[in-house]
C-alpha cells in the first residue's frame, strides 16, 4: 500500500534490500543497516504503486522499474493516469 504500507524485496546475495515506503523506493544494505540510495524526486503528488528489479552484468548494475500514480487519484480510487520510471 503506497499510502502507508511497506514492500520489501531482497536482492540476490542477501546483502541489500529494496524498500518501498511512503511512496518512494530506497536501497538499504543489510549489514551495516544504512540507506544507500533513494529514488530521485519525481513529483510530490505521486507515490510508488509497485516496483520490480533486475540485477545485470554479474551484479554490477541494479535496474529498478517503478510505477507511480497521483496520490489523490489513488485515494479516490478513480481511473489513474500512470507514469512508469526506470532507474539504473
Residue pLDDT, tens place only, 9-67: 999 989 999 988 767 788 899 999 999 988 765 666 777 777 888 888 877 788 888 87
Contacts of 52 (CB under 8 A, 6+ apart): 9, 64, 65
Between 21 and 74, residue with greater pLDDT: 21
Question: What is the model's pTM?
Answer: 0.69
Angle at 82 between CA 61 and CA 18, to 5 degrees: 30
Number of CB atoms found within 10 A of residue 20's CB: 22
pLDDT digits (tens, 9 = 90+) for 41-50: 566 677 777 7
Amino acid at each position: 500500500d503506497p499510502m502507508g504500507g511497506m514492500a520489501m524485496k531482497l536482492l540476490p546475495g542477501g546483502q541489500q534490500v529494496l524498500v518501498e515506503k511512503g511512496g518512494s523506493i530506497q536501497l538499504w544494505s543489510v549489514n551495516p543497516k544504512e540507506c544507500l540510495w533513494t529514488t530521485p524526486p519525481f513529483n510530490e503528488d505521486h507515490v510508488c504503486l509497485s516496483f520490480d528489479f533486475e540485477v545485470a552484468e554479474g551484479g554490477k548494475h541494479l535496474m529498478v522499474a517503478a510505477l507511480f500514480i497521483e496520490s489523490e487519484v489513488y485515494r479516490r480510487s478513480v481511473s489513474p493516469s500512470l507514469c512508469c520510471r526506470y532507474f539504473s
